[in-house]
Amino acid sequence: MLVCPHCGKSGISILDKFYIPVVLSVKCRACQQQVSVDAKKLVLLGIPWLAVIIVLPPSVGLMLLPVVAFAYIKWVPLVQK
Ligand SMILES: [Zn+2]
């Protein structure tokens, strides 16, 4: 579980965090407030990856997916919505 930026408790699951780029925000299970991610860092991570997908064969983009997912979890912080 990940720490919520509102209440500081472990209210966000890793799966929740992967949903955020799709649904924009998720609700903390501890305090029920909306949590999102740092949009600037999400874009900084997403643009190079999209460029790789466009420029290189799709298999290369897929191979990089675990790296991008790991970087997203580790490097893109949760923020208050
Ligand atoms: Zn919370």
Number of other CB atoms surrounding residue 55 within 10 Å: 9
Tally of domains in the chain: 1
pLDDT mean over 35-44: 97
pLDDT at residue 50 greater than cutoff 90? no
How far is residue 13 from each of residues 4, 19, 39, 55, 81, measured CA to CA in Å?
Answer: 10, 10, 19, 33, 16
* Structure confidence at residue 60 (pLDDT): 85
Separation of 53 CA from ligand 1 center, angstroms? 35
For the whole model, what pTM was predicted? 0.86
pLDDT at residue 75 greater than cutoff 90? yes
Separation of 77 CA from ligand 1 center, angstroms? 14
Separation of 38 CA from ligand 1 center, angstroms? 16
Separation of 34 CA from ligand 1 center, angstroms? 8
Which residues constitute the domain of residue 55?
A: 2-80
**6 phi and psi angles, rounded to 5 deg:** -85, -55
pLDDT tier at 10, thresholds 50, 70, 90: very high
Residue type, 44: L
Separation of 54 CA from ligand 1 center, angstroms? 37
pLDDT at residue 43 greater than cutoff 90? yes
